[in-house]
Amino acid sequence: MLIGALLFAATPADVVFTNGNFYTGVPAHPTAQAVAVAKHRIVFVGTISGARRYTTKRTKVVDLHGATAVPGLTDAHYHLSAVGEREISFNLEGTSSLQDLQRRLKERAKTIPAGRWVVGRGWIETHWSPPVFPTRQDLDAAVPDHPVFLRRSDGHGAVANSMALKLARIDKSTASPPGGEIEKDPATGDPTGMLKDNAMGRIAILLPRATAQEDEQAMLLAVKRSLSLGLCEVHIPGNSWKEIQLIRRLYEEGRIPLRIYDAISRNEAGTLFAKGPILNEFDHHFTLRSIKLYADGSLGSKSAALLAPYEGETASGFMVTTEAATQPILKEALRKGIQIMTHAIGDRANRSMLDWYETAFKAVPPSERAVKAPRWRIEHAQLVAASDLGRFAKLGVIPSMQPSHAIGDLYFAPSRLGMERLSEGYAWKSFLRSGSIICAGSDAPVEVGDPIIEFYAAVARKALNGFSGPGWHPEERVSRDAALNMLTKWAAYAAFEEKDKGTLEVGKLADITVLSRDIMNVREAQIPKTRCVMTVIGGEVAYTASRRSVET
């Protein structure tokens, strides 16, 4: 069928993408062979012969040679600048053991003058033997003459060596701050070196600041990597006004083709309230209309706020904020038309945020809001009590979830939660059944940031090597259609962009991701082997893979 042919029959196309296996995301017309684009928007979706009606001598024709194409993929939770920083900094991703961590640390320290900081990120102990947090003594043994600060992969915990703790004036008499923990040896009372959530700030303020040139380099590297993975848009869950200004300058200079939906961090919420939302700037490339809040920490760092204690322990994690401090922000956001995105991992944190959202909704009725249906989000929603699950849809709150968290966390989640509570974890299918939609992301650089991994995790709920263990609850898998929606049309809805993005339809922006395999039909084990062939944003090719990169 020729979709929109009558309406746009006289419109000459700037570019036609033809001979493709297109999945449109439109139930009435789910597949197509060609897409025609004029002035960055789609003017035709349908057959190859139908697309010829839009082709003139000036039209660029791109032959996809039968490759699969989907609506432009979106990562709905993506720390863009941190992805770039990972590319240029001390990257501890893939560290296989404590000894491997020490070896990498020694090698890194050789490149840095004595007394200077060694800062890194990306270690995660859950696959080590034994799976225990490193200590200051472990770092001291490797590097005694540098202050060292190494963030865990999730960013909610870090380990510091003795020199770094001394510089931060952290000792056995130092109390943990609200919303954080300075972990201490139960026998001696001395700090172990592990700092969680708000406790990390005592060292973070001492770290050397990146230069403006380094910030720009990191941002451009992150954009380049994102395009190569097939991402047309990312949602940044919280950054600074300084970083926002950098992004806008790079847009002005024509150096960023990637679309960005942004949220400002809580400590600069007043700036957004004062200036108001920025909508569809740079021809629908940049929007700032959200504030990022935090409710708790992470499951891996044992700082997620739980309703019952961690397995075999008396502690149940902690909230990093209070309702009294949060309600004024929530109510002002409703009045100013600002979306709220709140990080909540544990079941207590998720219940608390639903309660706080509901209180704000009652205090500021639709008649007093700038946006009647505010589409507030909870980022992660990893562990949600069964009694709270339906409240998301009832309140209009969108769970923004990261499928790859499950296939990583489920190796260690039983040791944190016990087997019984795992039935309420990473409950994608249950959310959909309750009436919610889910926007999906990766939380990169906590995870790799590849949308194909997120798609696979959502439909397979297995590790990349096919492993699935007790407590992984395969019944929470979703269909391939749902997984694609999570990365396209539902992500667009979560950003108020469903009229412009998320499906391949006439009138929408021509964002297309072209893939090396048909992810909607290939065998499950083949999905992770899929590569991005081409990334198209507004009808313009922003990335093309080399033949070698597609084949590897």
Per-residue pLDDT for 205 more than 60? yes
Q: What is the mean pLDDT of residues 417-441?
A: 97
| Minimum mean pLDDT range among 37-46, 71-80, 172-181, 467-476 | 172-181
Cα dihedral sign, 409-415-419-422? negative
| Minimum mean pLDDT range among 103-107, 361-365, 472-476 | 103-107
Q: What does the pLDDT read at residue 300?
A: 86
Residues 472 and 461 sit within 8 Å (Cβ to Cβ): yes
Q: 178 preceded by cis ω (within 30°)?
A: no
Cα R_g (the chain), whole angstroms: 24
Q: Which residue has the tokens 């083949």?
A: 526
User: In 3-state terms, what secondary structure has residue 340?
Assistant: strand
Q: What is the rounded distance in angstroms from the CA atom of residue 105 to the CA atom of residue 109? A: 6
Q: What does the pLDDT read at residue 547?
A: 67
In 229-346, which residue ranges form alpha helices assigned H by DSSP? 241-252, 269-275, 281-284, 323-336
Q: Cβ-count burial of 546 within 10 angstroms (0-12 exposed, 13-18 middle, 19+ buried)?
A: exposed
More confident site: 327 or 178: 327
Q: What does the pLDDT read at residue 552?
A: 46
Q: In the numeric block, which tokens belong to residue 283?
A: 């021809």
| Minimum mean pLDDT range among 195-209, 313-327, 328-342, 480-494 | 195-209
**Chain-wide mean pLDDT for the chain?**
94
Extract the runs of DSSP E, i.e. beta strands, from 244-376: 259-265, 278-280, 286-294, 339-344
Reported pTM: 0.89
Q: In the numeric block, which tokens belong to residue 466?
A: 């096919």
